[in-house]
Chain A
Amino acid sequence: EAQVTQNPRYLITVTGKKLTVTCSQNMNHEYMSWYRQDPGLGLRQIYYSMNVEVTDKGDVPEGYKVSRKEKRNFPLILESPSPNQTSLYFCASSPMNRDRNTEAFFGQGTRLTVV
């Protein structure tokens, strides 16, 4: 089954304790990205990657890092989490298709609380 898998689904952590949210897709997609969703602000893109070893900042990258060492994985790293990073996070993937537009597949989300 084609899917994007995020782990963990729920996480409560303390300020300053480094954490990683994993994202894996099984569709051989080139493009992967991370979004955060906050009430009243909608979904905002954090980082994206167009292929292995190619990453770039989205709209709200501050406080986050990513890596793309393998095509299927795109972890989101919070080196020193702060309470304002409490949010619902989504990973997404899609193919980079030159001929037509295609759909994005989203993970089920990670609800992060930083206390």
Chain B
Amino acid sequence: DAKTTQPPSMDCAEGRAANLPCNHSTISGNEYVYWYRQIHSQGPQYIIHGLKNNETNEMASLIITEDRKSSTLILPHATLRDTAVYYCIVRANHITQGGSEKLVFGKGTKLTVNP
């Protein structure tokens, strides 16, 4: 799986948009970009994923650059409960990966939402 690079920490004011960047310059054509978050030692929580098109769900939006070498997770109106470590993960389809389904978590970005 391609390696990802994220800033170690970010701050955001409550109610403002939080934009979390991720670099994945070695991503290959069959690899998806996933985002998970972990709130204070709870189990990681899936947020969103995408291949090349921008994606939006009830939690967030995912913007992937045209060359797919980077992406941005957007939390449109951050709340105090969004304070967490956010992980950007690049992973191929499990069939091509041989079925391990393993998620490789890096160090992530510690997002702190301030009142």
Please determine whether B101 and A33 come into contact, CB atoms closer than 8 angstroms.
yes
Interface of B, secondary structure class, is loop
Question: Is A45 in contact with chain B by the CB < 8 A criterion?
Answer: yes
Number of residues of chain B lying within 8 A (CB) of chain A: 21
Please determine whether B46 and A105 come into contact, CB atoms closer than 8 angstroms.
yes
Question: Is B106 in contact with chain A by the CB < 8 A criterion?
Answer: yes
Please determine whether B94 and A43 come into contact, CB atoms closer than 8 angstroms.
no
Q: Which of A27-84 contact B (CB under 8 A)?
A: 31, 33, 37, 42-43, 45, 48, 50, 56, 58-59
Please determine whether B44 and A94 come into contact, CB atoms closer than 8 angstroms.
no
A33: chain B residues within 8 A (beta carbon):
101-102
Q: Which of B70-115 contact A (CB under 8 A)?
A: 91, 93-95, 99-103, 105-107
Please determine whether B99 and A96 come into contact, CB atoms closer than 8 angstroms.
yes
Q: A33-B101, A42-B105, A42-B107 are known contacts. Are A101 and B43 too (CB-CB below 8 A)?
A: no
CB distance from B79 to the nearest CB of A (A): 21
Chain A window 87-101, contacts with chain B (Cβ cutoff 8 Å), 1 for yes, 0 for no: 010101010101001
Question: Is A108 in contact with chain B by the CB < 8 A criterion?
Answer: yes
Q: Which of B43, B94, B95 contacts A108 (CB 8 A)?
A: B43
Q: Which residues of B contact A (CB under 8 A)?
A: 32, 34, 41-46, 49, 91, 93-95, 99-103, 105-107
| Extra 19 A-B pairs, beta carbons < 8 Å, given A33-B102, A94-B101 | A31-B94, A42-B105, A42-B106, A45-B103, A48-B101, A48-B102, A50-B101, A56-B100, A92-B43, A96-B101, A98-B95, A101-B32, A101-B49, A101-B91, A101-B93, A103-B46, A105-B46, A107-B43, A111-B41
Q: Which residues of A contact B (CB under 8 A)?
A: 4, 31, 33, 37, 42-43, 45, 48, 50, 56, 58-59, 88, 90, 92, 94, 96, 98, 101, 103-109, 111
